[in-house]
Structure 1
Amino acid sequence: MRPVFDWANSLADARNALVLGIESSCDETAVALYHTTDGLLGEALHSQIDLHAAYGGVVPELASRDHVRRLPGLLAELSHKTGRTLADVDAVAYTAGPGLVGALLAGASLAAGLAQGADLPLIPVHHMEGHLLAPVLSEPELDFPFVALLVSGGHTMLVACHALGRYELLGQSLDDAAGEAFDKTAQLLGLDYPGGPALAHLAAQGTPGRFTLPRPLTRQRGLDFSFSGLKTAVANQLAKVSDVQDHPDLAADFELAVVETLSTKCRWALEATGMSRLLIAGGVAANTRLRAALQTLCEAQGAHFFVPSAALCTDNASMIAHVGALRLADAQRSGAPVRARWPLSELSAPRGAAHA
């Protein structure tokens, strides 16, 4: 099986190329440089957490304006970090979707302007494919095929990855994504935004086992997810307790319910596909209890487990520049379209690439 990195080397246009990646799909603004031979050269990133904290969630208009404001400075910071300028860049990759339309347009507009001004090709990148292949940046031995669990605030899905651009959706969230359930449950517990990390911190102080919470959609062997009922179950349990001292235990039981649900679905996905590699990506992939549970699962199943570094779990431009390098054959000379909704199944292999 050919390693993932060989996709870039198998394309004539991708040899010895430097790709600038731009990420602006939601509330992280980032730029990065990836070289097809030397790997990741550097990244500059700004998080909008403080901007949105007062509202308890992302405000799309504020996010879009902040991307426009931050991107020029981040480009200057990246140039200072890497010693590279736009004159050294061979192509510009940007997040084309899915995401918030205004936020996507901020990055796409900059990408189009830079590309037109320097006569560079543009590469639209699918945000979820970026997450899907982010573990390769820290686990270069990862090969196709593998099962991927993409788990974040906006998405929870299981994908059978047969080759670059050949993705089979096995199951997805029918309502709240796991990360969304974390955030909403954190609000119920009176925790600050962003709720996911705050809830995980609170759960670490508690002991699971006191509260009975469901493991949604695990009574039958399906691969779809549903977490809205779990959030409601937490609200019902919360109404029965009056002491804030109970919150850590309730948080621990909630986190365990999510982790066990995700772990069960991953086991079923491995068994259904016959694959021996499991990858997790997305913001919730940074959760230590989830990482530990899936590591244990893979050891029991005789499977290999891959997870990106914590910095690559959240939205970042490194993964966008990386996928851009893999998809140099798909570069275009004009236009920078964006798509708020973009099914992963609509992707295909890069033009001219032979499947492994």
Structure 2
Amino acid sequence: MQPWSAPLSGRFDEVVFESTVLKDNPLHDPYQRPLWIYLPPGYDQDPERRYPTVYMIQGLTGQLDMWRNRSPFRKNFPELTDELFAKKEAPPCIVVWVDCWTSYGGSQFVDSPGTGKYHTYLCDEIVPWIDAHYRTLAARDHRGIAGKSSGGYGAMITPMLRPDLWGGLATHAGDALFETCYLPDFRNSIRTIQDRYEGSYEKFWQSFRSRVAFTQSGDEGPMNDWCMAACYSADPDGTVRLPYDLETGALIPEVWERWLAWDPVRMAPKYAESLRSMKAIYIDAGNRDQYFLDLGAKAFYKTLKQLGVNDVYLELFDGTHSSIEYRYPISLKYLAERLTP
């Protein structure tokens, strides 16, 4: 294969969306956000045809233009998407790439006083705008959402919270079963904050923002813990509450329970009716995932089956959490087939 971009069979519209709900967000992050809309081959030739939509959301630290990053000897996901539809291996869809980055690394696609209203941004601003400006099949049975890692998390919870909008989901190694994916790393974060930053997250962020990001080992854990706390356990005034004591490492039960309330495995029974109404649920993870998100994938799948969810697919493949963009066309095909009339 050639190691550079080639002309696409479909096309991308790249716009800047000005959000109302992200204005005055607590982190003062940009409220003008890039938005990519992929239109499949044939979209411009048949002005009467309407299409299902699949929304793609990113993992922690993901910024929209990172979708075009390339691993050696591989096509990137936008290219793989175009190839999927150009070869007619799946029914054509409009694919929408949405940016929900924050200066803490991400938003988990929830509304939080610690980060901003990213759930509302996605559901109540982006979706209606896309339906108004493109020839979509503007009904929940023809709209899906997909992502990896924190994006996979967002893909799991967003349809639970808004079943009126979403008829299908695909999660690649999405954050789930929090006691296995988050809790074991708390101790490393605590040691890093104690040893390097005098027990102060404020000093961690001062250091992090004063240098090239991730130039010190151990940056990832504290950033992840703080970002998750900002999403799951911020007070109404925006104060971020960590789920552990920074001096001893002991869990703070009332804060940890706030995190667990956002665990997709624990959320599922509450939203069983919403999940049973989905036309498609795709779950996968690498069997050597560094964050043990394969366990979360299995736990989420098992819970869905116990709840009587019928159209749900699970695959554990040989791989890790890294460089799994080649898996995304598989779930895109799965969604496209089930969201197409």
TM-score w.r.t. length of structure 2: 0.32
Which structure's residues are more often helix, by fraction? 1
TM-score w.r.t. length of structure 1: 0.31
Bigger relative contact order (CA 8 A; separation at least 6): 1
